[in-house]
């Protein structure tokens, strides 16, 4: 076994111990195809008011600009699929990824542990950790690393686990054995496209982010949501899971074993009336450690109010 093979196995085994259910490696290189897609995405204003998407264009496409002498991108997946969902079918809905504690913090801690382990076991390795908070094209690297294919809804789909998982990366100046991409198994299926109530999936593999319910309920900070989406939100107040819920591959999703992603004890039992009457005090209690805090109390109330319009 070569030293690269040994190091690759070491990292993948430790990643599994830390709760990541997949770990793949790709060579740190310029993303040529993705450059065209990103340019087209921005040109069509599919980023809406997410102006940060226009920043660091070159860094998004070349990990060597983020880490000196970067050799590989190590991509990792962590399952967040819950054991149970909200009880009241009439209640405003929250995306499953936000049921538990903020994934940024949970995964960042695990990546720090993994990075420390690499330095202890292998030696002086330089690199950085990333959890959805820097100019890194997570899905592109996950795809290149063989962790899944990019579905028509632009989510990464794993043939054994579906798509309810978080993606994170380590960019390292260490030589490892890269994995290759896997085949696209979407076939002729268009369930995600047909189910999207705002027509955000404008064609297979292309999403207009400015029409996505997740964008409207989380990223858009305007005082009022655009009237054109009235009656089209399918009762989502934070995020949206429609294109994942209808995906046939998610029949393979299994409940997460990560306790931190378990919902607050009151969250799943709140009724429609509870949400309509939500106070800031209850909001702070339920979402104290949650990603839902991103939208703030006023933002969540805005979304809930819009669902009644």
Specify whether 18 is located in the same domain as 167. Answer: yes
Q: Domain limits at 65? A: 3-172
More confident call, 114 vs 39: 114
pLDDT in tens, 157-171: 999 999 999 999 999
Specify whether 157 is located in the same domain as 29. Answer: yes
SS3 letters for the chain? CCHHHHHHHHHHHHHHHCCCCEEEEEECCCCHHHHHHHHHHHHCCCCCCCHHHHCCHHHHHCHHHCCCCCCEEEEEEEECCCCCCCCCCCCCEECHHHCCCCHHHHHHHHHHHHHHHHHHHHCCCCEEEECCCCCCCHHHHHHHCCCCEECCCCCEEECCCECCEEEEEEEECCCCCCCCCCCCCCCCCCHHHHHCCCCCEEECCEECHHHCHHHHHHHCCCCCCCHHHCCCCCCEEECCCHHHHCCHHHHHCCCCCCHHHCCCCCHHHCCHHHHHCCCHHHHHHHCCCCHHHHHHHHHHHHHHHHHCC
Specify whether 155 is located in the same domain as 51. Answer: yes
Domain-located, residue 91: yes
- Range of weakest confidence among 38-52, 72-86, 179-193, 217-231: 38-52
Specify whether 152 is located in the same domain as 97. Answer: yes
Specify whether 152 is located in the same domain as 220. Answer: no
pLDDT, mean of residues 136-156 = 97
Specify whether 288 is located in the same domain as 248. Answer: yes
pLDDT averaged over every residue in the chain: 95
Specify whether 212 is located in the same domain as 158. Answer: no
For the chain, give the percent of residues with pLDDT over 70.
100
More confident call, 134 vs 156: 156
Specify whether 68 is located in the same domain as 114. Answer: yes
pLDDT in tens, 265-279: 899 999 999 999 999
pLDDT, mean of residues 185-209 = 98
pLDDT, mean of residues 167-178 = 98
Specify whether 219 is located in the same domain as 166. Answer: no
Specify whether 162 is located in the same domain as 91. Answer: yes
Domain count, the chain: 2
Domain-located, residue 167: yes
Give the per-residue pLDDT at 235. Answer: 97
- Range of weakest confidence among 51-60, 194-203, 248-257: 51-60
Q: For residue 81, is pLDDT > 60?
A: yes
Catalytic residues: 132
Specify whether 99 is located in the same domain as 24. Answer: yes
- Using 50, 70 and 90 to split pLDDT, how confident is the model at 309? low
Q: For residue 190, is pLDDT > 60?
A: yes
Q: For residue 188, is pLDDT > 60?
A: yes
- Using 50, 70 and 90 to split pLDDT, how confident is the model at 145? very high
Specify whether 17 is located in the same domain as 165. Answer: yes
pLDDT, mean of residues 19-36 = 95
């Amino acid at each position: 076994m070569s030293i690269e093979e040994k190091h690759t196995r070491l990292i993948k085994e430790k990643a599994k111990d830390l709760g990541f259910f997949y770990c793949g490696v790709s060579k740190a290189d310029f993303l040529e195809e993705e450059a065209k897609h990103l340019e087209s995405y921005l040109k069509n204003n599919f980023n809406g008011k997410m102006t940060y998407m226009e920043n660091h264009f070159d860094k998004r496409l070349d990990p060597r600009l983020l880490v000196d002498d970067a050799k590989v991108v190590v991509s990792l997946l962590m399952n967040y699929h819950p054991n149970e969902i909200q009880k009241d079918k009439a209640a405003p809905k929250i995306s499953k990824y936000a049921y538990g504690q903020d994934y940024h913090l949970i995964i960042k801690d695990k990546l720090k542990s993994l990075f420390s382990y690499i330095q202890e076991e292998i030696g002086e390795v330089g690199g950085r950790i990333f959890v959805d908070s820097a100019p890194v094209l997570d899905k592109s690297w996950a795809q290149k690393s063989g962790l899944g294919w990019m579905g028509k809804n632009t989510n990464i789909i794993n043939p054994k686990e579906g798509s309810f998982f978080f993606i994170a990366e380590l960019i390292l100046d260490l030589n490892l054995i890269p994995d290759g991409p896997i085949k696209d198994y979407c076939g002729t299926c268009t369930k995600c496209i047909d189910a999207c109530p705002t027509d955000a999936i404008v064609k297979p593999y292309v999403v207009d982010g400015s029409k996505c319910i997740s964008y409207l309920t989380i990223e858009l900070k305007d005082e009022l949501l655009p009237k054109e989406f009235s009656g089209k939100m399918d009762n989502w107040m934070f995020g949206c899971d429609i294109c994942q819920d209808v995906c046939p591959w998610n029949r393979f999703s299994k409940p997460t074993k990560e306790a931190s992603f378990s919902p607050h004890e009151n969250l799943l039992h709140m009724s429609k009336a509870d949400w309509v009457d939500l106070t800031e005090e209850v909001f702070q209690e339920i979402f104290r450690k949650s990603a839902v805090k991103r939208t703030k109390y006023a933002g969540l109330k805005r979304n809930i109010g819009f669902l009644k319009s």
